[in-house]
């Protein structure tokens, strides 16, 4: 297993277009998270899944954003009618949810992110 994979690495889109990102977590991890990071800031939580269930969503996740994890494996994040303010790095992370396991070296494992630029 090579870790958390995100595709694409970079996406440039025109304002008003829809975009979709994909995240493939570490295979044995049952939790998957989406974060957004803008320049000069730390990652901000968007949403997370345990298996296929979306358990929590941030108020940052407007109705233009939707995330799915249909089979409890990979996840997609779609942004509809993109705006320039959506330009950011979108990070995916996964973890094996077990309170004790999260104490180990693994922690969360992040992917390399998808950098979105809305022009």
Partner 1 sequence: DQQVKQNSPSLSVQEGRISILNCDYTNSMFDYFLWYKKYPAEGPTFLISISSIKDKNEDGRFTVFLNKSAKHLSLHIVPSQPGDSAVYFCAASATGNQFYFGTGTSLTVIP
Asked if 114 and 6 touch (Cβ cutoff 8 Å), the reply is: yes
Provide the minimum distance between the beta carbon of 69 and partner 1 in the complex, in angstroms, as a whole number.
15
Closest residue by Cα to residue 87 from 40, 37, 46: 37
Question: Which is closer to partner 1, CB of 21 or CB of 111?
Answer: 111
Tokens of 111: 């992917």
Rounded distance, CA 6 to CA 115, Å? Answer: 10
Provide the minimum distance between the beta carbon of 22 and partner 1 in the complex, in angstroms, as a whole number.
15
70 lines the binding site for partner 1 (CB under 8 A): no
Residues that bind partner 1 (CB under 8 A): 4, 6, 40-45, 48, 55-56, 58, 91, 93, 97, 99, 102-103, 105-113
């Amino acid at each position: 297993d090579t870790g958390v994979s995100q595709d694409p690495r970079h996406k440039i889109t025109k304002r008003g277009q829809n975009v979709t990102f994909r995240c493939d977590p570490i295979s044995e991890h049952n939790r998957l998270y989406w974060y957004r990071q803008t320049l000069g800031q730390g990652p901000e939580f968007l949403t997370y899944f345990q298996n296929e269930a979306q358990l929590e969503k941030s108020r940052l996740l407007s109705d233009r954003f939707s995330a799915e994890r249909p089979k409890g494996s990979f996840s997609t994040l779609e942004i509809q009618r993109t705006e320039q303010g959506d330009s950011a790095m979108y990070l995916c992370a996964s973890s094996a949810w077990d309170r004790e396991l999260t104490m180990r070296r693994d922690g969360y494992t992040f992917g390399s992110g998808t950098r979105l630029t809305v022009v």
